[in-house]
């Protein structure tokens, strides 16, 4: 028995692929908003990106950061002002490099350094850095015909960038990708995990990213604390270098500890409570002083709206909205609109399908509106019951409401008003339930009409197919008869001669 060589080869390739892959294990991520930026509304009122400083000819705007315009000899950069601390991290960058010519210059770079950079000679920022630099070099300085190129350089702060040879002596990984003049922003995903750095590239041909491996380097030891930055420069040739998004996430093999919520110390809480009580006493004192100074004047109630009055007014407003919705639904059902549409459904196959769709959409829309109205009705009913219970509790307590003002801002007649409101809410609930029943009947009638229409259409199709089959059979019989007659005529001619 011969072995299944295709299966064996497939298993071997799978094992080799898993051994060579460097995908990180399942990890937890946390978005770091203080080390990221994205539009819209990218800049503040002063034209600055929050938590970032811009240098040189960079131009932050509402949607992007233009590191350099397409003008010769420009330099620009943007640097995070807050140090980033994490053992493992990931960066996703949306970038654009556009220019008129087929060859561009000079290029741009993404940095992670132990110190934030300033304006300088290396693609718009300072040289002799300690950290990582991902160089996107558009111009071929050494004539090797290998640009545009994406190169990774890790520096210890002692090596100067060699422009004449495109920094080739310090490159630890690179890939050739034409990132200029893409239909959409091209994307880079940089993952640093357990001293291994991987760069993935999306060419920007579609709005949705599709990453492919660009380069991968092992044994990359970066500082656990550093600053992210982006920079660009132009030379004799000039491109627009734009940073559209820059998103940073911390990675960890274990879940991140929840952020500590700010707490108020007990002494601060006591102080706040004391200030509130003092404010309440001052307010009552000012009311009394006003009443003494103006004995004949009546203070408008809206100037001193109590929490009870505020809650009742909110509930009354909700009840009014619910009442309007119910009246609209009843008017729609009683107007006979659905019966008219059902009549149209029987006039023909095309019009029937359109009418059924209209009825279904209208029923779905009305059902959703009824459900929202019922939910709001239930919420208002709960609020009424809560206020009613609070009113009864305060009325039965010592020193309860004995006058028109009541205690705690609750008038003495509140219980009767709340009872009337609760009764009206119950009536609204009953009306809503009746509307639900009417909608269910209409939906059932619509389904019955659609079913009968479908059966009629199928019977029409069946009769049509039957006629077609009979016509085909008759045609075949006619052909056979004609062929036999022709054969008999030929035989008779042979016999005659």
**11-33 pLDDT, tens digit each:** 444 444 444 444 455 578 899 99
* 3 C-beta neighbours (distance < 10 Å), count: 7
pLDDT-based confidence at residue 260 (cuts at 50, 70, 90): low
Mind listing the pLDDT tens digit for each residue in 469-483? 767 766 766 767 766
Q: What are phi and psi of 176, to 5 degrees?
A: -95, 120
Sign of the dihedral defined by the CA atoms of residues 31, 37, 42, 46, in that order: positive
Strands 240-252 and 186-193: unpaired
**Predicted pLDDT of residue 11:** 45
Instruction: Compute the half-sphere exposure of residue 89: CA atoms within 13 Å on the CB side of its CA.
Output: 22
- Strand-strand pairing, 84-85 and 225-233: antiparallel
Buried residues in 400-424 as b, exposed as e (16+ CB within 10 A) = bbeeeebbebbbbebbebbeebbee
Contact 388, 422 (CB under 8 A): yes
Judged by phi (left if over 0) then psi (alpha if -120 to 50, else beta), residue 243 lies in beta
pTM of the model: 0.51
Evaluate if residue 95 carries a pLDDT over 90: yes
SS3 382: helix
Residues 6 or more apart whose Cβ sits within 8 Å of residue 93? 110, 187, 188, 189, 190, 230, 243, 245, 246, 247
Contact 239/66 with Cβ under 8 angstroms?
Answer: no
Assess contact for 57 and 231: CB atoms under 8 A: no
Give which of 263, 365, 247, 384 is closest to 314, Cα–Cα: 384
Residue 299 above 70 pLDDT?
no
pLDDT at 93 over 60: yes
Give the C-alpha separation, 102 to 178, whole Å: 11
Per the listing, tokens 């639900």 go with: 436
Q: Helix, strand, or coil here: 184? A: coil
Residue 104 has pLDDT above 60, yes or no: yes
Q: Under DSSP, is residue 188 helix (H, G, I), strand (E, B) or coil?
A: strand
Of residues 141, 136, 237, the one with CA closest to residue 180: 136
Which residue carries 């982006």 as its tokens?
Answer: 230
Q: Which residues of 296-313 are buried (b: 16+ CB within 10 A; e: fewer)?
A: eeeeeeeeeeeebbeebe
Q: How far apart are CA 109 and CA 128, in angstroms?
A: 15
Q: What is the mean pLDDT of residues 333-357?
A: 53
354-411 pLDDT tens trace: 556 666 666 666 676 666 666 766 666 676 666 666 666 666 655 554 444 444 445 5
Residues 6+ apart with CB under 8 A from 208: none
Long-range contacts of 371-376 (CB under 8 A, 24+ apart): 373/322, 373/325, 373/326, 373/432, 374/429, 374/432, 374/436, 376/318, 376/321, 376/322
Tell me how far apart the terminal alpha carbons of the chain are, to the nearest angstrom.
Answer: 71
CB of 439 within 8 A of CB of 337? Answer: no
CA atoms within 13 A on the CB side of 64: 15
Task: Provide the 3-class DSSP secondary structure of residue 464.
Answer: helix
**Of 317, 433, 282, residue with least CA distance to 371:** 433
- pLDDT tier at 231, thresholds 50, 70, 90: very high
Q: With contact defined as beta carbons under 8 Å apart, do 178 and 140 qualify? A: no
Place of tokens 């019009």: 351
Backbone angles phi, psi at 430, to 5 degrees: -65, -40
Lowest model confidence (mean pLDDT) among 42-46, 137-141, 267-271 = 267-271
Q: Is the Cα torsion angle 329, 333, 335, 338 positive or negative in sign? A: positive
Label residue 302 by pLDDT band (50, 70, 90). Answer: very low
């Amino acid at each position: 028995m011969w072995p299944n060589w295709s299966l064996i080869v497939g298993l071997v390739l799978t094992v080799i692929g898993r051994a060579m892959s460097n995908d990180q294990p399942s990890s937890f991520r946390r978005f770091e908003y203080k080390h990221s930026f994205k539009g819209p509304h990218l800049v503040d009122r002063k034209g600055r990106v929050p938590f970032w400083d811009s240098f040189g000819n960079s131009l932050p705007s509402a949607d992007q950061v233009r590191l350099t315009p397409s003008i010769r000899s420009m330099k620009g950069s943007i640097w995070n002002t807050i140090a980033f601390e994490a053992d493992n991290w990931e960066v996703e960058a949306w970038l654009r490099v556009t220019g008129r010519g087929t060859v561009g210059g000079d290029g741009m770079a993404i940095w992670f350094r132990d110190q934030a950079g300033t304006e300088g000679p290396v693609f718009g920022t300072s040289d002799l850095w300690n950290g990582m630099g991902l160089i996107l070099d558009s111009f071929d300085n050494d004539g090797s015909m290998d640009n545009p190129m994406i190169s990774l350089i890790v520096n210890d702060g002692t090596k100067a960038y060699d422009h004449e040879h495109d920094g080739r002596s310090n490159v630890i990984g690179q890939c050739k990708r034409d990132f200029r003049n893409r239909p959409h922003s091209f994307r880079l995903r940089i993952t640093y995990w357990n001293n291994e750095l991987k760069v993935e590239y999306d060419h920007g041909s579609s709005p949705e990213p599709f990453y492919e491996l660009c380069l991968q380097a092992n044994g990359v030891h970066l500082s656990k604390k550093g600053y992210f930055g982006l920079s660009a420069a132009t030379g004799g040739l000039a491109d627009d270098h734009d940073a559209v998004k820059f998103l940073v996430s911390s990675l960890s093999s274990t879940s991140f500890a929840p952020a500590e919520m700010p707490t108020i110390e007990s002494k601060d809480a006591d102080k706040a409570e004391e200030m509130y009580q003092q404010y309440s006493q001052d307010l009552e004192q000012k009311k009394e002083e006003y009443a003494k100074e103006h004995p004949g004047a009546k203070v408008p109630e809206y100037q001193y709206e109590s929490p009870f009055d505020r809650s009742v007014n909110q509930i009354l407003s909700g009840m009014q909205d619910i009442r309007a919705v119910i009246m609209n639904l009843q008017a729609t059902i009683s107007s006979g609109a659905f019966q008219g549409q059902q009549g149209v459904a029987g006039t023909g196959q095309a019009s029937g399908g359109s009418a059924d769709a209209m009825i279904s959409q209208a029923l779905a829309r009305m059902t959703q509106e009824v459900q929202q109205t019922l939910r709001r009705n239930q919420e208002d009913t709960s609020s009424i019951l809560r206020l009613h219970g609070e009113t009864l509790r305060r009325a039965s307590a010592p020193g309860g409401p004995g006058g028109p003002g009541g205690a705690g801002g609750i008038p003495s007649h509140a219980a009767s008003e709340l009872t009337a409101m609760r009764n009206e809410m119950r009536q609204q609930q009953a009306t809503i339930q009746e509307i639900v029943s009417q909608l269910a009947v209409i939906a059932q009638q619509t389904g019955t009409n659609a079913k009968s229409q479908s059966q009629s259409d199928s019977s029409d199709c069946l009769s049509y197919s039957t006629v077609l089959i009979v016509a085909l059979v008759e045609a075949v019989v006619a052909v056979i008869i004609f062929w036999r007659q022709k054969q008999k005529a030929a035989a008779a001619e042979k016999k005659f001669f």
